[in-house]
């Protein structure tokens, strides 16, 4: 059997909206299961997001620390953001987030890894990009709320892997991006998809 996620949609016989917020919507779908059973599944509908593993010429990962209220933690993460600009390509959104959150521009972009953050409860898609050939830039972006006083640190890639495996970094795109970058570095990043690779 081929090991690859494939599209498939089971029949939804009814759908009820439970909540609509600024970013997410929650619906309850009644889904037709095998043997003609119908089961309710709560779904968090999410616009999706992008994240950037920025790697400098010394193979250090750019990480930021941000307060995440649902976890009640200050979390080390990659620059990231919601897909909230209509018509913006994923890589352009990632470049915008890298500039706004960290003050860097990258000349070389690749798709690093695609994630489904929690497929049992949300349709959120996350694309993590690898950004290299970095330049520090000035930006007039105004940080607000959780982004105020958000520190930027450079972590050697092997150290970032160790921190992820030791349970010191918990953010899922950060963990996946760090491990994927480390694995891809073995082949000199030659096996990575282009930045505009199609998304499943």
> Do 106 and 134 meet the contact criterion of CB atoms below 8 Å apart?
yes
| Element at 121 (helix H, strand E) | none
Dist. CA 159–CA 189, nearest whole Å: 19
Q: Which of 59, 100, 147, 162 is catalytic?
A: 147
Tokens of 83: 């897909």
Tell me how long the chain is: 200
Dist. CA 18–CA 154, nearest whole Å: 42
147 is catalytic: yes
Catalytic residues: 147
């Amino acid at each position: 059997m081929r090991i690859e996620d494939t599209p498939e949609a089971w029949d939804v016989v009814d759908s009820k909206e439970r909540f609509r917020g600024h970013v997410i919507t929650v619906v309850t779908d009644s889904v037709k299961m095998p043997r003609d059973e119908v089961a309710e599944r709560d779904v968090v509908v999410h616009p999706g997001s992008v994240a950037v593993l920025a790697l400098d010429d010394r193979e250090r990962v750019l990480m930021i620390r941000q307060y995440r209220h649902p976890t009640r933690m200050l979390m080390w993460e990659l620059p990231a953001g919601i897909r909230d600009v209509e018509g913006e390509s994923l890589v352009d959104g990632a470049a915008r987030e890298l500039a706004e959150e960290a003050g860097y521009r990258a000349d070389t972009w690749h798709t690093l890894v695609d994630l489904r953050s929690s497929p049992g409860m949300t349709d959120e898609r996350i694309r993590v990009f690898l950004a290299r050939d970095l330049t520090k830039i000035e930006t007039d972006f105004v940080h607000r709320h959780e982004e105020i006083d958000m520190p930027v640190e450079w972590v050697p890639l092997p150290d970032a892997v160790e921190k992820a495996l030791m349970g010191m970094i918990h953010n899922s795109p950060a963990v996946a991006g760090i491990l994927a970058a480390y694995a891809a570095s073995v082949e000199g990043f030659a096996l990575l998809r282009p930045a505009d690779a199609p998304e499943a």
